[in-house]
Amino acid sequence: MGRIFNANRIASMTTSIFATMSKMAFDYNATNLGQGFPDFDGPTWIMEAAFDAMKSGKNQYAPSPGIMSLRKAVKDYHKKYYDLDWNENEIVVTAGATEALYSTIQAFIEQGDEVVIFEPFYDSYLADIILAGGQPICVTLHKPNFDFVKEELEAAISKKTKMIILNTPHNPTGKLFSKEELEFIANLAIKNDLLVVSDEVYEFLTFDGATHIPIATIEGMKKRTITISSTGKTFGMTGWKIGYAIANELLSTAIQKVHQWTTFAVNTPGQHAMAHAISMLESYLPEFRKTYKEKRDIIYKELKKTNFKPHLPLGSYFIMVDLPDGKFNDDVDAATNLVREHGVATIPPSVFYLKSDEGKTMLRLCFAKQNETIIEGIAKMGKI
């Protein structure tokens, strides 16, 4: 076939680093600290709630924006934990945060619009911006604390900027944006009349008393913020792909328009189960946080014994480590060597940067793993 059928907009898209590293992990039978999801199951009582929903006939299409009880549960927890008042029409249930991001960016970004993202970034932001014809503009979160330079953020904003994408708690650095940083971003957004997309999928995964602050709580921001989260992260069931976008009705109506022609609706029994799960957040969260804090502490302590220098994360289930001096050419070399020669898979983070070379000096590890898996993987890294 001589004709090339691929649309130009997918030309720059390659296989994601996660698929590449997972294949290598499988090929070399490696301990997998690369994949960004738990290697243990979510709560049985949520599965039972889904089965109950199936048995009681909740098996046909859900309303496109999501079932009312799930949207109400989301509304209620935003009031309870953040003192934010939404109504059900301001919430769109999507196929994971991934679809919420896609639908949001499709709804607002068009050819030539600039979107400011912080690097290292979650890689779907880049793909979504490119698919919409937008232009990503990066601002680096610099080592060692992964702070941004205020002047760099100011300089990234131009007449063409329409949106800033924020992710807190942050994948892959584990950073929580502080109130002061959020206020700075908020001021710029207001001054330049920008939308802010706030990806908060790790909102309940915070450690050492650090608090997650949704940027929608900063004065003047509620009406220009699209907050995105995912039950997959909160309840450790990423395979269910149930997420949501929350924004004032003008914005959520636009997101809903894309959603109705993308997935139309998200699986019905899963939504019923997650409505129940969210209503149980208060009793669920202490154990959830304790489990992940223990894993965070184990990985940090074990890494301290190796030549890889860990950056202590305050949120998410990722940790960044500096490569040992003089051992590797860069992160890809290190990740390839670790999986092939030492049987441990990690993620080389340089793919999450467009501007800075800092990613080449680190690796990303995921600690949403059984404690023995973490200890085994880090012991293998300790051989270097």
Ligand X SMILES: Cc1ncc(COP(=O)(O)O)c(C=O)c1O
Residue (167 or 342) nearer to ligand X, CB: 167
Asked whether the beta carbons of 368 and 39 are under 8 A apart, the reply is yes
3-state secondary structure of 321: strand
Cβ 278 to ligand X shortest distance, Å: 14
Least separation, in Å, of the C-beta of 95 and ligand X? 7
The closest alpha carbon to 129, from 120, 139, 140, 138, belongs to 138
Phi-psi region of 366 (alpha: psi -120 to 50; beta: other; left: phi over 0): beta
Paired residues of 115 in beta bridges:
136, 163
Give min distance, CB of 241 to ligand X, in A.
6
What sign results for the dihedral spanned by CA atoms 252, 257, 261, 262?
negative
Identify which of residues 238 and 346 has a Cβ nearer to ligand X in the complex: 238
If the CB atoms of residues 50 and 342 are measured against ligand X, the closer one turns out to be 50
Closer to ligand X by Cβ: residue 97 or 247: 97
What is the nearest approach in angstroms of ligand X to the Cβ of residue 340? 25
**DSSP-derived secondary structure letter, 56:** T
**Closest distance of CB 161 from ligand X, Å:** 21
* Residue 236: CB minimum distance to ligand X, A: 11
The least distance separating ligand X from the CB of residue 307, rounded to whole angstroms, comes to 27
Other CB atoms within 10 A of residue 87 CB: 12
CB contact burial 141-162 (16+ within 10 A = b; e otherwise): bebeebebeeeebeebbeeebb
Residue nearest to ligand X (CB): 96
Do 78 and 86 meet the contact criterion of CB atoms below 8 Å apart?
A: yes
Tokens of 370: 């059984």
CA of residue 175 relative to chain centroid, distance: 12
Nearest distance from C-beta of residue 293 to ligand X, angstroms: 19
Q: In what order do the strands lie in the sheet with 362-366?
A: 309-311, 318-322, 362-366
The residues binding ligand X (CB under 6 A) are: 36, 96-98, 122, 167, 171, 199, 201, 230, 232, 238, 241, 243
Of 31 and 98, nearer to ligand X (C-beta) is 98
Which residue, 32 or 171, has its beta carbon nearer to ligand X? 171
Of 86 and 122, the one with the shorter C-beta distance to ligand X is: 122
C-beta of 120 vs 380, nearer to ligand X = 120
Total residues belonging to the chain: 384
Q: Which residue, among 271, 278, 320, has the nearest Cα to 300 in the 3D structure? A: 320
Q: What does residue 202 show for φ and ψ, rounded to 5 degrees? A: -100, 25
For the CB of residue 128, give the shortest distance to ligand X in the complex, in Å.
Answer: 11
Other beta carbons within 10 angstroms of residue 56's beta carbon come to: 10
Nearer to ligand X, 315 or 342 (CB): 315
Question: What's the one-letter identity of residue 151?
Answer: E
CB atoms under 10 Å from CB of 339, counted, come to 23
